[in-house]
Amino acid sequence: MDIEIRPEDQPFADEVQRWLDEHLVGEFAEHRGVGGPDDPAAWELRLRWEKKLSAGRWLGLTWPPEYGGRGATLSQAIIFEYLYARAQAPYRLGVQGQDLFGPTLLMFGTPGQKARFLPKILAAEEFWGQGFSEPDAGSDLASVRTRARLDGDDWMIDGQKIWMTFGTSADWLYVLCRTDPRAARHRGLSLLIVPARQPGVEIRPVTNMLGDGGFCEVFFTAARTRADLVVGAPGDGWKVAMAALGVERGTLLIPQQLGFEREAEHVLELARGRAGATGLSHRLVDAWIAVRLMRVTTLRTIGELVAGREPGAQAATSKLYASVQHQRLLELATELLADDMTVTGGGYALKALQRAFLLSRAETIYGGSSQIQRNIIGERVLGLPREPRPGSTGG
């Protein structure tokens, strides 16, 4: 996939490319493409890389300069992501802070909160974990039961969160808590900023299918945070959490698309050399078509964002389509490579395609499961009758 760079953005694109050429060398070049949104591979190396990006002021490009950003345009941020992904620079570790919590704080934070937290995110000094999901509150997030109550100058928090990505490395957590148990489900919630390293917070790693431990569950037992560390007003937690989940991440579509195209080309290349691929050729053709459809959708969505328009209905289908097609492609790779994809016994190191296959299983769950995406598309795009909700009478 190529993007067109406008003449006025060419000096910026040249600067990005020069920086990548100079810095993506040595151990970083040896780890091209390492990591992913939920893949903690090569953590220490990626931390060193993130510090370099920070020193070059390449993190939070569109954020205001007073918080360490460059106040760059969306077009420039897109150019950066494109050249970054094309060079296969290591996947950034600070996604939670840079792409989810930071933009939310820019929207809802007080000047004091922004000044305290945003520069540390862009300095790659403080990392964040998202504490939304609970054992009985995932798709039905309004069922959150972790509670917080004011105790003097602090909030005191008790409860449990689960499936926190990179939580074991987090310095701070943004935690959706029930602060008014008498209010209606969505209304009694607040989003609190909670220090992760304190006696009342126990972070237990959860090992995923790959044997990695970046994932965790978090137990709060009389954990504390200052009363003013609430994002938005107390009781606004639902609105703020929904904004965090809906932060426009159009720029991240580019690395996803380029990664997908690279993987698809790799699978096709493997198939070209295998007689056994004949039985799979129709599905390989379908995979190739899907990648091209996704390219068109990605470019359309980005075009609309750059033009300052709300992305059209096609953007709503991106997450659902991309996650399902990615799983199909990797299932195809698994069938194609059969013996090479099989893991037996202990003491093995997973190969890149094996890791990708296992990690892809989660893509139809996180960020809103496929069923929830279909509900959203059905109701908001197609105007179909509203699906019954938990706790409702089906209206």
Ligand X SMILES: Cc1cc2nc3c(=O)[nH]c(=O)nc-3n(C[C@H](O)[C@H](O)[C@H](O)COP(=O)(O)OP(=O)(O)OC[C@H]3O[C@@H](n4cnc5c(N)ncnc54)[C@H](O)[C@@H]3O)c2cc1C
Tracing tokens 């107390």 back to the chain, one arrives at 234
Answer yes or no: 248 catalytic: yes
Least CB distance to ligand X at residue 277 (A): 31
Neighbours of 347 (CB within 10 A): 4
Each residue 15-44 as x (binds ligand X by CB under 6 A) or -, in order, gives -----------------------x------
User: Applying CB under 6 A, does 168 fall inside the site for ligand X?
Assistant: no
User: Applying CB under 6 A, does 164 fall inside the site for ligand X?
Assistant: yes
Neighbours of 317 (CB within 10 A): 17
Query: Which one of 67-75, 143-151, 288-296, 360-368 is the stretch in contact with ligand X (CB under 6 A)?
Result: 360-368
User: Applying CB under 6 A, does 192 fall inside the site for ligand X?
Assistant: no
User: Applying CB under 6 A, does 241 fall inside the site for ligand X?
Assistant: no
User: Applying CB under 6 A, does 56 fall inside the site for ligand X?
Assistant: no
Judged by DSSP in three states, 283 sits in helix
- How many helices and strands, by DSSP H and E, does the chain display? 13, 8
How many residues of this chain interact with ligand X, rule: CB under 6 A?
Answer: 18
Least CB distance to ligand X at residue 135 (A): 8
Nearest Cα residue to 219 out of 186, 178, 173, 171? 173
CA torsion, ordered 22, 27, 28, 34, to nearest 10 deg: 160
What distance separates the 2 farthest-apart alpha carbons in the chain? 72
Least CB distance to ligand X at residue 128 (A): 9
Among 369, 376, 377, 381, binds ligand X (CB under 6 A): 369
Q: Give residue number: closest CB to ligand X.
A: 138
User: Applying CB under 6 A, does 160 fall inside the site for ligand X?
Assistant: no
- Which of 8, 30, 248, 379 is an active site residue? 248
Q: Return the number of the residue (258 or 358) whose C-beta is nearest ligand X.
A: 358
**From residue 346, how far is each of 4, 357, 379 by CA, in Å?**
48, 19, 47
Query: Which one of 68-76, 181-189, 311-319, 368-376 is the stretch in contact with ligand X (CB under 6 A)?
Result: 368-376
Q: Return the number of the residue (40 or 131) whose C-beta is nearest ligand X.
A: 131
**For residues 305 and 248, is the Cβ–Cβ distance under 8 A?**
yes
Among 207, 281, 371, 392, binds ligand X (CB under 6 A): 371
Among 68, 138, 235, 259, binds ligand X (CB under 6 A): 138
Query: Which one of 15-23, 65-73, 163-171, 293-301 is the stretch in contact with ligand X (CB under 6 A)?
Result: 163-171
Tracing tokens 């067109």 back to the chain, one arrives at 4
Q: Return the number of the residue (132 or 220) whose C-beta is nearest ligand X.
A: 132
Q: Return the number of the residue (74 or 210) whose C-beta is nearest ligand X.
A: 210
Query: Which one of 72-80, 236-244, 326-334, 362-370 is the stretch in contact with ligand X (CB under 6 A)?
Result: 362-370
User: Applying CB under 6 A, does 365 fall inside the site for ligand X?
Assistant: yes
Specify the DSSP element, H or E, that contains 233. Answer: none
User: Applying CB under 6 A, does 132 fall inside the site for ligand X?
Assistant: yes
Kindly provide the b/e burial profile for residues 148-157, where b requires at least 16 CB atoms within 10 angstroms of the residue's own CB: beeeeebbbb
Q: Which DSSP string do the residues of 1-35 spell out, in sequence order?
A: ---PPPGGGHHHHHHHHHHHHHHS-HHHHHTTT--
Neighbours of 18 (CB within 10 A): 10
**For residues 368 and 244, is the Cβ–Cβ distance under 8 A?**
no
Question: Which residue type, as a one-letter code, is found at position 100?
Answer: L
Q: Return the number of the residue (274 or 386) whose C-beta is nearest ligand X.
A: 386
Contact partners, residue 44, CB within 8 Å, separation at least 6? none
Among 139, 198, 221, 281, binds ligand X (CB under 6 A): 139
**C-alpha radius of gyration, the chain, whole number:** 22
User: Applying CB under 6 A, does 362 fall inside the site for ligand X?
Assistant: yes
User: Applying CB under 6 A, does 318 fall inside the site for ligand X?
Assistant: no
User: Which residues of this chain interact with ligand X, rule CB under 6 A?
Assistant: 38, 130-133, 138-139, 163-165, 362, 365-366, 369, 371-372, 375, 387
Please identify every residue annotated as catalytic.
248
